[in-house]
Amino acid sequence: MQKRKLGKSNLEVSAIGLGCMSMSGGYGPAGDKQQMISVIRAAVERGVTFFDTAQVYGPFSNEELVGEALAPFRGHVVIATKFGFKFEHGGAPRSVGLDSRPAYIKQGVEGSLKRLQVDAIDLFYQHRVDPEVPIEDVAGAVKDLIQQGKVKHFGLSEAAAQTIRRAHAVQPVTAVQSEYSLWWKRPEAEVLPTLEELGIGFVPYSPLGKGFLTGKINERTTFAGSDLRSRIPRFTPEARKVNQSLVDLLGGIAERKKSTPAQVALAWLLAQKPWIAPIPGTTKLARIEENIGAAAIELTPDDLREIASEASKITVQGARYPEELERLTYR
């Protein structure tokens, strides 16, 4: 597996990482814990060194899963987690909004360290920008944690370019994580140029369009009520029918490359910048192996021009999130 450095930092990760959220639910019921541990460990054996989780996944159970699975590989893998959601603890913990107050960040990091079974968190992202807390205060809190040896690198997720600049001025930002793929290219407008200027790495989540760009979903696919895609406008049957043309484009190139649409979608991301490391999520080892294969696919300048030209003719239908979730982004 190729390695990549996230921006100007010394944080080196596998070119393809693993998003672990879905192992604890989100796209349906949580997976069997022992089975998910086996999948994560098999990913390490195949060269994946970059694993992504968050306090809010579960909540907390995903960090516990990742911590247990990766315990034998301490020092050989990079674990990223995220803070910034507030939790209510009456019975099972649940998220009740945002909270990035410095005291809450510092209180929360202790739980993440325990669940992940680490002495220091490799990459600690603010999960969503909290409009009630100046980003300078957030960056200052993480700076304190870095000085205390509890965190190694600071990251932001779904932040606007100006917010990234303000945070970076207080504590250098190592990586920004946002959704980015052939069917959601908003980061190209302002975020990617800002990261290039400042020397910050970029970690695309949902690089396969929440599964749509794999070609395994069509207008007849049904989603369980526990699957977040059942609430996403982009995944209505009507939208899926229109958006199929993007999968067809990937499929045509995949045939030529003797690969799959998912591999072409990931190879396209890797070809955008050398400091981009996508984190496709899955619960299946076969999918991890398929995704890893994308790192070996070389898209020529002609291939990239063809993808850009054909994709520009396609208008993706449907919002990427319900309105209440989209409001939390690009602040």
Q: Provide the annotated active-site residues.
A: 57
Question: Which helix (DSSP H) or strand (DSSP E) does residue 193 occupy?
Answer: helix 191-198
Please give the Cα distance from 46 to 42 (Å, whole number): 6
Pairing mode, strands 173-179 and 12-14? unpaired
Between helix 61-70 and helix 102-116 the angle, nearest 10°, is 40
Maximal C-alpha separation, the chain: 57
Closest to 57 in 3D by CA, of 89, 93, 91:
93
Alpha helices in 199-322 (DSSP H): 237-257, 261-272, 285-293, 301-311
Over the Cα atoms of the chain, what is R_g?
Answer: 19
What are 87's two structure tokens? Answer: 């939790």
CB atoms closer than 10 angstroms to residue 119: 9
* Backbone phi and psi for residue 136, each to the nearest 5 degrees, phi listed first: -65, -35
The amino acid occupying position 112 is S
> Phi then psi for 233, rounded to 5 degrees?
-55, -35
Find, among 1, 46, 68, 53, the residue nearest to 22 by Cα.
53
